[in-house]
Every structure is written in C-alpha cells, then in structure tokens.
C-alpha cells in the first residue's frame, strides 16, 4: 500500500497540517517561478524576420475535410529544413471565416466559432489569449515573413478545434473540423433552402421566369408502348397485341397532341387529338386574359348538383389557375397510363385508390380536406420502374385574390368510348364564373346545358358563395333547371388540431340532373354527409396511425339509403397498412337489403424487397371472402426486377400464380410475365415502352425508358467564356465532366460540353445551375442564370452556361514620398464606370482583389483626408497580375 500510515488520531491531524503547509509553499514557489519566466519571455520575445528561404515556399489549396469544399485556392505556406509546417495565421483564419484581424503589426485579435470565444495573439510578447486564459508561446513556433505572421501547425491545432494535414504531392492542406464551423452551418442552411419547393410564378414577382417563344413547327416528343399476349388452354392458343403511340409538339404556334391506340382486332381503336396553349399567368388571348385554351379532345369538369365529369371533343377557354381544384370539396385526377403500368393515389400519406390494366387513370370526385391537401401519385411500371408525382391543393383562404375574375367556357360533345357508360353522346355548353370579393369571400355562378335521358336539351343555372374564417370554410350553392326544379347545398369544413371535420347537406325539389338520377331508387331528394379524418399520435415504435370515418344519408323518391364507412391506416419506416369497412343499407317500397364489405391493404418495403397484399371480404348479407392477392418484387440488379404473385378468387374458386422479370435501361424498358391458373391455362406476355425527346443541339432524338410527352427537356452547353460575353464564340472551348442540375436531376456534360436533361416538370419555374464542386479549376467562376425557366410540355429549351476565367489583381499602394499607405479604399470600376469590387489596403499598403472577370477596368485608390489619389487602367484576362499605385495630389487619372 502506497503512502504513509496513521499511528494515531493526533498524529494524523499533525501530519495533515504539515502536508498542507508544504503543498502551499510548493504551489506558491511554482507560481512565482512561472510568472518570472513568462515576464522574462514576454519581455525578451523577438520574432525572427525573413527566416524562410524560397525553396521552402509551398503554394497549397485549402479544402474542407470530406466535402472537399475549396476554402482558399492558393495559400502561401512554408516547410523548413526539419519538415516543420508554418502557416500564415491571418490568411488561414480568413479562409475558415473566423473574424480575426490585425490590430497592430504583430497583433491578431477577434473571435472564432462564437463571439464568446475570444482570441488574441500578441507576437511581440509571445502570448496568446483564448477566452480569459493567457498562455505563453514557444518562440520557435512564431515567424514573421514578408509582412505576415507564420505560426507552427501544432500551435494552430491547439488553439482552434481543427486538425490539419498537408499533402506535399497534391499541394493541398486539408482542414478537419472537430466542431461544426460557421461555414458548415451555412452549407447546411443552403442545403435546406435548396430543398424548399420553388415558388410559383403567381407568388414570386421578384424574378420573372424566362419564357420560350412558340414556334411554327418543332420536332415532337414521342411515347411508344407495345404489348404482345398469349393464352393457351384446352380450346387452343390465342394471341393478342395492342399498342399506343403519343406524339406531342408545337404546330402553328400551339401545343399539339396526337395519340393513336389500337390492337390486332382494331388497328385504330382510338384517336385523341388536341391543340391549344397554357400559361400559369392570365396572359393568353389579349383582353380575355386566359390561362388555358384548347380545341379537340378535352375534359369537362363535373358539378356537385348538376353533372358528372366527362370526356368530350370541343373547345375550352379558361383563366382559372392551372393547378387548383375545379370545385370546393372534390377534385378529378386524370391522366394517360402507359400499357402495363399501375398507379396508386395517396392523400396526405394515406393510400386511397389505385388503377391498373387500362391506358388511362380516372380518379373521380376525390375529396378535399380543409387546409392543405397533399397528393402523391406513385406509378409502377411493368419493368420495375417507380416514379412519383406530388402536388397539393388548398381549400380555404387564398383560393382567389380580391378583385380577380375567373371564368371558364366549354362547348363540346361527349364521347361514348371514353366517358361514363351511363351517358350517351350529347352536346354540352358549360360556363363558370368566379369573383373575389375579399380575401375570405368569393362569389360565382354557372350555366350548364346538356341532354337528359330523353335526349332533350336541359338548361341549368347556379349561384355560389365561398366564405372562409380562421377556423372554418363554407361553400353555399343554389341551382335551378328550366322545368322549375330547385336544388341547394352547403358544405362546411373545419380543422381542430389534427382533426379534420367535413359536412354536407343538399336538398332537391323536382330537380332532375345527372347527379340526382343515377345511383339510387328514383330521384334524389336529400343528401346529408358528415366525415372525420385525423392523424393519431405516433406510438413509441414510430408507428403513425390515422383514422377516417364518415356517414351519409340519402332520401330518394322510391326509398332511402344509408352508408357508413371507416378506414384505419398506419405506417412506419418499412411498412404501410390500411383497413377499410363500408356498409350500405338500401330500403325501397318493395324490400330492404344491406351490403357490407371490407378491404385490407398491406405494403412492406425493405432493402431491395417490396411486398404488397390485398384481401377483400363481404360481411353482409353473409360473410365470405371474395378475393386475395400478394405480390413480391425483388430488385435483383439496379436495372432488373423480378416479380412473383398469387391471386385467388372465391367467387369462381380460381387461383392464379404469376411471375415476371423486368429490365430497364436508360433508353428502353422491357418486361415479361407468365401466369398459370388452376385450370391449366397459361398466360404469357411481353411489353416494351420508351419515350423520345428531341435535342436540337445534337440534332437527334434522345431515347428514355420513361414517357416524355407530358414533360419538358433542356439542352445545356457549358463552355469557358474567355471574353466574359456570356455567348460562346467558335474558339472558346467546351467543358466536359461538369455537373448540371435542374429539377432534382444531375448529369455531367459530354466531351462537347453538352447535356440533355429529360422528364422536367412543365409550367413551373425551374432553376438550372452548375454544381460548383464539379469545377476543378480554382480560377474559374461559375455564372449562374439570373432567372428561372418556364418550360412547356414536349419542348426542349436551349441555353448556354458560361464559366468565366477569373483573375486576381494585387499590389502595393504607397504615398509619393515612399511610405506605405494603409487603410486606403481601393475600387475597381468597369468600362462603364460601375463599381465591380472594393477593398482596403493592409497595414503595409498591400491590397488584393479576387475573382475579377475578363475585361477592361479602372483601378482607383483615394486618400480623402490628405487629398491624394491614384488610378490606373488595366485589362484582365483571367490571370493574376500585380499593379502598384503611388498616391499623388489629385489630378486627372486614366479612364478605363
């Protein structure tokens, strides 16, 4: 046992006192010695001047650890005979964005990381102050050379939370932060800002987007999808094929679309043609201030009291915003679906519907909540492709600005082959109008003319009012037909925390319309609905549940119907699940019956595996399973996905097993599928699809595995703008391997400096820029576009992205009597007299102006108090040059 032993209690107390006195004397002697040593060192500290030889000079770039962010392109540092590294402290801390500055010739003072962390280096006394603590510096760790204070790398690492590594072969100094530096926090903020969605052209009036002029004719974008199927059974072998080709481009100054679909039985089954224009702002057709007009195959919106949505051929003109719902509490989502694709619809993160095995999707009357409605369309291709479309719709304040007029006029004839089967082809005239009275109040009206069941033309008129409050939103509408029928409805919606409540009540009096005659016994007389949606608290395991319940009561002339529904959904990081129950009771004069069914969906995604299952059951009039399916996808390789599935139907007691393999490259997507049912029938199919966007720059079509006709494209050319004109001359070189970013996409330029970006969103401002990290030359500066682009579908925008070689101007400023001029303002003016850059001379009269683009300039220095000035003209061509100025009494000086 170490130490001494205690013989007795009194002895122990005596020993403790002696030990305390001895330690106190030793500590006092040590402190006095340290003070004497420090005072002597500080008093006698003299920094050696100009101790470095030229062969010890190193010029290194300074970069930030893993990000490789360039902090300083050229830092002068020295490595002496003993391989000791010395750094210019003021230049290094400036590169790290530490606000330190020279107070005197050999004093550097300021703070780092935060204002509370003060720093002061007094080289004349070999003393450093960190916060409130002062420490001596070993004299060999300080050097004064060429007007700068050089500090040993070990001392820099002790003072600041960084580690330094110098690579003599790459001539690079790497800085590894031990704490988060301010420049890293700025990077993180910039990344968060970059993730923010771009503001629309209607809300961002500061920078107007650049628009593309329409052309008389332009090369179209094309989508092609083909499929071949085979069925083999006891009755023989059948073959079937189908195709679809969509072409879209500009013709006679309009956006024109032509789509042809067919099969082996009908070579031309359907033709869709449309031409028109669209714009986010009301700038079309002069005084009509339209946002959209079209001629050909169009979509007719529905009306809650009068008509259902329909597809038609005719004409449409509208100045309603392009991205907003057509009625208050519901929205219609339509679009083309390539052959073999499936689509799922998510509303506020909850799966609500899907479509498959058709060449288009129609999600009709999708309900909207009060507040923000976030939608997500997830498309699954037959070859393992997955893509998403996200958008939102807002119900409530801000739907129409005060004093704004919105209108829509449609004259068309409905189509049997693409519309509702209950309807026959008929001529329709629709007129809608809305006016913003106040930020929280708008009024409107509509006129509808369409044929009834007896093929007689019927006319309807309606008036509506939208009113909002901080806690609720209301939509009131009254309608009348030409046979003295009347209808009225009120919709209410409110949100309390995470709970969204909606209600609707409608009354009909001898009112005959598509909405009142379809779906029930007789004519609809009354309709009442109440619904609740809410996100429940997240569980400890990270499960996010939600609930959606509702009830609807309808009174018809020949009976009544009551509907109840409820959906419980939950999701976590790797899975989503939902359970929906629907119950319907219908009572007529003859009988009363009930129907109830449930649907269960489950999706699990983990690593390269994705499993989706569906189970449907009938609960009333008797319990029975109706169908079940399970599908598993495995992404075996980045371009290949294998799929297996099982489907069973209890109604006809059949089962089917299927397997498929899809292969997707950049230029084409190919998929195969084979299935066998329990009767021995074999089904097999192969499909292929691709899209073509045209590149005017390369004068050819660029093929893609994704559809392109609904998207836009960009041809960008990156070059070295040696004269700073912004336009490429023949002798200016193209730049390869430069990363161009747009719309979430990144692509590197080829050997000719060209890049073709596809699948970009139209009618939304889009920023195109160069990733500065891909520019390896520190004396090149990226010139980012000043305004975003407003793209259109099936149109390629062409733009040049210049990179300018920049130079550095440096030198000394002295007075006419030969003294250094410190603190003198330096201004750099362009040929038109505009201020380009400004700085001040250091204590020794030295100045530097960084990142000067090519051109002719005037460099001017002025000592206002002594009425001295100097100026000189110079031409910058992208290199570093020195220009010394001598201050003389004010006189005429050269002009640029």
Is 449 a member of any domain?
no
* Domain boundary pick from 163, 186, 209: 186
DSSP tag of 49: B
Q: Is the pLDDT of residue 11 over 70?
A: no
User: How far, in Å, CA of 353 to CA of 31, rounded?
Assistant: 80
Contact 77, 164 (CB under 8 A): no
- Which helix (H) or strand (E) covers residue 63, if one does? strand 57-64
User: How far, in Å, CA of 44 to CA of 647, rounded?
Assistant: 92
750/812 same-domain check: no
Question: Which tens digits make up the pLDDT trace of 293-351?
Answer: 999 999 898 898 999 888 899 999 999 888 654 444 577 888 888 876 788 888 888 78
Contacts of 328 (CB under 8 A, 6+ apart): 368, 395, 466, 473, 475, 491
72/169 same-domain check: yes
742/851 same-domain check: no
User: How far, in Å, CA of 399 to CA of 323, rounded?
Assistant: 11
Interval 435-444 mean pLDDT: 86
**CATH number for the domain that contains residue 736:** 2.60.40.10
User: How far, in Å, CA of 791 to CA of 743, rounded?
Assistant: 11
766/794 same-domain check: yes
User: How far, in Å, CA of 336 to CA of 711, rounded?
Assistant: 13
Is 861 a member of any domain?
yes
Task: Extract long-range pairs of 529-534: CB within 8 Å, 24+ residues apart.
Answer: 529/502, 529/503, 529/504, 529/505, 529/553, 530/501, 530/502, 530/503, 530/504, 531/367, 531/501, 531/502, 531/503, 532/499, 532/500, 532/501, 532/502, 533/369, 533/499, 533/500, 533/502, 534/498, 534/499, 534/500
Is 103 a member of any domain?
yes
Would you place residue 186 in the very low, low, confident or very high pLDDT band (cuts 50, 70, 90)?
Answer: low
Contact 140, 150 (CB under 8 A): no
Identify the weakest region by mean pLDDT among 79-88, 286-295, 442-451, 503-512.
79-88
Is 840 a member of any domain?
yes
Q: What residue numbers bound the domain in which 870 lies?
A: 807-889
Contact 836, 804 (CB under 8 A): no
Identify the weakest region by mean pLDDT among 78-82, 152-156, 517-521.
517-521
- Which helix (H) or strand (E) covers residue 217, if one does? none
* Domain boundary pick from 158, 186, 214: 186
757/881 same-domain check: no
Is 227 a member of any domain?
no
Is 153 a member of any domain?
yes
731/824 same-domain check: no
Instruction: Give the count of domains, the chain.
Output: 3
Contact 704, 666 (CB under 8 A): yes
Higher pLDDT, 768 or 140: 768
Residue recorded with tokens 């030198």: 811
Residue 460: HSE in the Cβ half-sphere, 13 Å Cα cutoff? 29
834/785 same-domain check: no
Contact 76, 95 (CB under 8 A): no
> Which pLDDT belongs to residue 193?
45
Mean residue pLDDT of the chain comes to 84
Identify the weakest region by mean pLDDT among 122-136, 318-332, 541-555, 716-730.
318-332
875/801 same-domain check: no
User: How far, in Å, CA of 374 to CA of 390, rounded?
Assistant: 7
776/876 same-domain check: no
778/848 same-domain check: no
Q: Is the pLDDT of residue 43 over 50?
A: no
> Which pLDDT belongs to residue 226?
96
DSSP tag of 24: H
730/832 same-domain check: no
Interval 354-373 mean pLDDT: 74
> Which pLDDT belongs to residue 372?
66
Is 154 a member of any domain?
yes
Contact 459, 483 (CB under 8 A): no
Is 724 a member of any domain?
yes
* Domain boundary pick from 786, 805, 824: 805
Nearest to 263 by CA among 242, 239, 238: 242
**CATH number for the domain that contains residue 855:** 2.60.40.1120
90/176 same-domain check: yes
> Which pLDDT belongs to residue 205?
40
Q: Which two tokens stand for residue 748?
A: 């590197």
> Which pLDDT belongs to residue 384?
57
Dihedral sign, CA of 741, 742, 747, 750?
Answer: negative
User: How far, in Å, CA of 308 to CA of 475, rounded?
Assistant: 19
Cis bond upstream, residue 621 (ω within 30): yes
């Amino acid at each position: 046992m170490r130490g001494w032993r205690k013989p007795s209690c009194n002895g122990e107390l005596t020993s403790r006192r002696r030990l305390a006195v001895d330690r106190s004397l030793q500590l006092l002697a040590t402190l006095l010695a340290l003070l004497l040593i420090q005072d002597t060192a500080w008093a006698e500290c003299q920094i050696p001047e100009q101790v470095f030889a030229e062969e010890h000079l190193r010029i290194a770039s300074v970069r930030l650890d893993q990000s490789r962010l360039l902090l300083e392109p050229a830092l002068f540092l020295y490595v002496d005979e003993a391989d000791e590294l010395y750094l210019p402290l003021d230049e290094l801390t400036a590169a790290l964005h530490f606000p330190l500055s020279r107070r005197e010739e050999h004093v550097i003072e300021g703070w780092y990381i935060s204002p509370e962390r003060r720093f002061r280096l007094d080289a004349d006394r070999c003393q450093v102050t960190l916060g409130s603590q002062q420490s001596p510096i070993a004299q060999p760790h300080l050097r004064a050379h060429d007007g700068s204070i050089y500090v040993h790398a070990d001392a820099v690492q002790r003072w600041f939370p960084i580690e330094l590594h110098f690579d003599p072969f790459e001539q690079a100094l790497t800085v590894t932060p031990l704490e988060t530096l301010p420049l890293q926090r700025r990077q993180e903020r910039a990344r968060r800002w970059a993730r923010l969605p771009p503001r629309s052209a209607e809300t961002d009036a500061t920078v107007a987007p650049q628009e593309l002029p329409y052309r008389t004719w332009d090369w179209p974008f094309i989508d092609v999808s083909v499929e071949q199927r085979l069925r083999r059974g006891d009755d023989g072998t059948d073959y079937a094929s189908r195709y679809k080709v969509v072409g879209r481009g500009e013709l006679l100054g309009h956006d024109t679309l032509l789509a042809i679909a067919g099969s082996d039985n009908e070579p031309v089954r359907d033709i869709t043609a449309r031409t028109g224009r669209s714009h986010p702002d009301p700038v079309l057709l002069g005084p009509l201030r339209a946002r959209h007009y079209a001629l050909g195959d169009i979509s007719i919106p529905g009306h809650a009291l009068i008509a259902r949505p329909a597809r038609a051929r005719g004409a449409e003109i509208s100045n309603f915003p392009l991205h907003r719902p057509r009625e208050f509490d519901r929205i219609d989502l339509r679009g083309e679906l390539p052959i073999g694709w499936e689509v799922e619809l998510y509303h506020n993160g909850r799966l609500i519907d899907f479509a498959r095995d058709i060449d288009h999707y129609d999600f009709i009357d999708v309900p909207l909540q009060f507040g923000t409605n976030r939608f997500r369309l997830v498309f699954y291709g037959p070859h393992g492709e997955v893509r998403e479309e996200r958008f939102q719709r807002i119900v409530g304040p801000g739907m129409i600005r005060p004093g704004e007029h919105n209108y829509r006029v449609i004259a068309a004839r409905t189509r049997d082959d693409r519309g509702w089967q209950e309807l026959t082809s008929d001529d329709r005239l629709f007129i809608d109008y809305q006016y913003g009275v106040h930020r929280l109040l708008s009024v409107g009206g509509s006129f509808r003319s369409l044929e009834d069941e007896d093929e007689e033309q019927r006319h309807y008129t309606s008036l509506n009012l939208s009113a909002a409050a901080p806690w609720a939103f209301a939509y009131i509408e009254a309608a009348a037909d030409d046979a003295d029928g009347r209808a009225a409805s009120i919709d209410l919606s409110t949100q309390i925390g995470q709970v969204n409540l909606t209600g609707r009540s409608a009354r009909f009096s001898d009112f005959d319309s598509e909405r009142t005659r379809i779906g029930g016994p007789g004519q609809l007389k009354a309709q009442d609905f109440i619904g609740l949606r809410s996100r429940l608290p997240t569980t400890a395991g990270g499960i996010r549940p939600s609930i959606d319940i509702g009830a609807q009561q309808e009174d018809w002339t020949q009976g009544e119907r009551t509907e109840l529904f409820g959906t419980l959904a939950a999701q976590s990081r790797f899975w989503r699940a939902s359970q929906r129950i629907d119950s319907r009771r219908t009572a007529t004069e003859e009988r009363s019956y009930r129907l109830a069914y449930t649907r269960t969906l489950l999706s699990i995604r983990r690593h390269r595996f994705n499993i989706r299952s569906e189970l449907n059951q009938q609960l009333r009039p008797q319990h029975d399973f109706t169908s079940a399916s399970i599908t598993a996808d495995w992404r075996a390789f980045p371009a290949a996905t294998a799929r297996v599935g099982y489907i069973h139907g209890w109604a006809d007691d059949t089962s089917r097993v299927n397997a498929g393999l899809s292969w997707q490259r950049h230029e084409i997507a190919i998929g195969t599928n084979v299935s066998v049912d329990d009767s021995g029938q074999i089904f097999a199919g192969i499909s292929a699809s691709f899209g073509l966007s045209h590149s005017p720059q390369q004068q050819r079509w660029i093929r893609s595995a994704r559809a392109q006709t609904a998207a836009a494209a960009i041809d960008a050319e990156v070059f070295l703008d040696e004269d700073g004109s912004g336009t490429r001359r023949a002798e200016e070189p193209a730049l390869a391997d430069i990363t161009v970013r747009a719309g979430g996409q990144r692509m590197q330029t080829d050997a000719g400096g060209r890049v073709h970006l596809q699948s970009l969103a139209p009618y939304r401002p889009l920023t195109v820029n160069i990733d500065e990290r891909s520019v390896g030359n520190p004396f090149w500066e990226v010139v980012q576009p000043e305004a975003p682009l407003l793209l259109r579908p099936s149109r390629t925008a062409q733009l040049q992205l210049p990179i300018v070689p920049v130079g550095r101007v440096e030198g000394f400023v002295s007075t006419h009597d030969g003294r250094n001029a410190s603190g003198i303002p330096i201004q750099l003016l362009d040929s038109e007299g505009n201020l380009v850059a400004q700085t001040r001379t250091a204590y020794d009269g030295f100045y530097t102006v960084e990142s000067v683009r090519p051109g002719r300039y005037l460099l001017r220095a002025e000592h206002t108090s002594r009425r001295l000035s100097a100026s000189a003209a110079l031409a910058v061509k992208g290199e570093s040059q020195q220009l010394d100025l001598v201050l003389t009494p004010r006189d005429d000086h050269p002009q640029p």
